Structure 1
Amino acid sequence: MKLLVKEVDLDFLSTEYENIEFYTLCSDDRLSFITCIVCICKNLQDVIENWRTIQNMVAVYYQHSGGFDAWNMYLAFICNEKIPIWDKYEIENNKFSARKIVLDEFQERPTIEHLIRELEKQLLGSDLKLASQSHQLEESLPNLENYYRGAPLESNSKSRDKRASMINKIIESLNNNEN
């Protein structure tokens, strides 16, 4: 899955915030419904002072109540300057109307292509690699069938004790082979 720039009318934001550039990115998978509004701010004050009103405007003008676009909506605030950790924490942990991402401390103004790569890492996990594991783990774990075969099914105390012992052996084996 990839994020693509999508032409969406964001005039309701652009006219209100002349110092901030806005882009809309959408997933190329029509079943994912991921939308990210990117807000490229000139300085950290633009982020800190405006993130709440921007999220409110997006909720009112862009998100439709109950539709799929209300889910998997992200607001990404981009700034070359370092955002103070508390402000970054507050923004990213606010879940009203959209999830938020703050990308800061860029050496120079990032291009939209660079932002797409960064946001794909954040939103899609594109930087994650699936490592293949050998079947050594399966071979080292004894077959669980050996532990429960012949378990008594009666409800008397001797059968219950025997089943409890079998369960304890399974847990012990799993704990020993946990890693």
Structure 2
Amino acid sequence: MSMSIKNFDFTEIQRSFSTVNFSFYISENQSFISCILCEFETAQSLIEQWEAIQNFVSVFHQPQAEAERWNVYLMLLCPETINIRNKYIIQNDTYIARKVVVENESVPVKSSRIIEILNNELLGFDLKIDFDKVTVECNYQSSITDFLVDIPLDASVSARSIREKKIKTLIDYISRKS
């Protein structure tokens, strides 16, 4: 799944917010994630206008499907750094849509870069894990742990015999404790 641009009539909102560029994106395979991208010229204009824009969106963008209603995003993008307090307030506001503030991006943003940002921020494309390097350490010890150490898991006769002996020992141990 990836994000792609969709046609959307921004005539009214563009008239009200002439210094902000708007575009609309949805997730490709299942269109349950929608995002209105707002490109601001400055951090100050973002801070001053984001609430009015969300109010405008609440009137003009009403997703029909139930799943879509819970997956509407406003991506607020600007070329400057946003004051941390303002960024926190914006991103934690849950009215109408989830908000994501993207700072320090040259405006206007190339469409390929926008898709990359959306895929990373909304779909987690930038999250990577190398399972070959993952190790799990368990320091938990119990009296039963010793019975479970080095139990062979293959289907050989000797492995079955070892497992059978371990199970008998474990049953005897539990019977004595009760």
TM-score (norm. length: structure 2):
0.72
Q: 1:134/1:152 Cα in 2 relative to 1: closer, same or farther (>3 Å)?
A: same
CA distance in 1, matches of 2:82, 2:135: 46
CA distance in 2, matches of 1:34, 1:119: 11
**Corresponding residue number in structure 2 for 1:131:** 130
- Structure 1 residue 65 displacement after superposition: 6.8
TM-score (norm. length: structure 1):
0.72
Q: 1:61/1:135 Cα in 2 relative to 1: closer, same or farther (>3 Å)?
A: closer
Q: 1:136/1:58 Cα in 2 relative to 1: closer, same or farther (>3 Å)?
A: closer
**Corresponding residue number in structure 1 for 2:84:** 85
**Secondary structure at 2:171 match in 1:** coil
CA distance in 2, matches of 1:88, 1:151: 61
Q: Equivalences for 1:96-111 in 2 at 5 Å?
A: 96-107=95-106, 109-111=108-110
Aligned pair 1:33/2:32, yes or no?
yes
| Poorly superposed stretches of 4+, deviation over 6 Å | 134-137
Larger Rg: 2
For these two proteins, the number of residue pairs brought into alignment is 154
Give unmatched runs, 5+ long, in structure 1. 154-158, 164-179
Give unmatched runs, 5+ long, in structure 2. 137-144, 152-162
Is the contact made by 1:80 and 1:109 (CA closer than 8 Å) also made in structure 2?
no
Is the contact made by 1:81 and 1:104 (CA closer than 8 Å) also made in structure 2?
yes
Is the contact made by 1:22 and 1:40 (CA closer than 8 Å) also made in structure 2?
yes
Percent of aligned pairs with the same amino acid: 31
